[in-house]
Amino acid sequence: MTTKQRAYLKGLAMTMDPVLQIGKSSLTPEVTAAVDEALEARELIKISVLKNCMDDGRELAQILSERTHSQVVQVIGKKIVLYRQAKDEKKRKIVLP
């Protein structure tokens, strides 16, 4: 992903609300499956890491991106933004510059 594409995705993510929250149980298989489903439906998602989660946001983002085959767009504090292009061309909503 180029810096221009990353900047474009960051701009799109600014107006988004988090679709998932990671709590004190951290990364369970259910959370990973929910992230995978959300990426398939939306391509670009924002995840909120709650205060009671003791894990680092950057580590969580890296683990989630590996498990879901997505790319980390940005991590700011307790917010994670992930992107994965839809496999089906008809479902693609985001066109990268």
Q: Can you give the pLDDT at residue 87?
A: 79
Q: Can you give the pLDDT at residue 96?
A: 79
d(CA 73, CA 80): 8
Q: How many residues does the chain have?
A: 97
Domain that holds residue 78: 3-85
Rounded alpha-carbon distances, angstroms, from residue 81 to 71, 90? 9, 23
Query: Residue 94 falls within a domain, yes or no?
Result: no
Instruction: Give the end-to-end CA distance of the chain in Å, rounded to a whole number.
Output: 11
Q: How many domains does the chain have?
A: 1
Query: Residue 62 falls within a domain, yes or no?
Result: yes
Q: Can you give the pLDDT at residue 59?
A: 93
We report the CATH number of the domain holding residue 38 as 3.30.110.60
pLDDT in tens, the chain (97 residues): 889 999 999 999 999 999 999 998 889 999 999 999 999 889 999 999 999 988 899 999 999 999 999 999 999 989 999 999 887 777 777 877 8
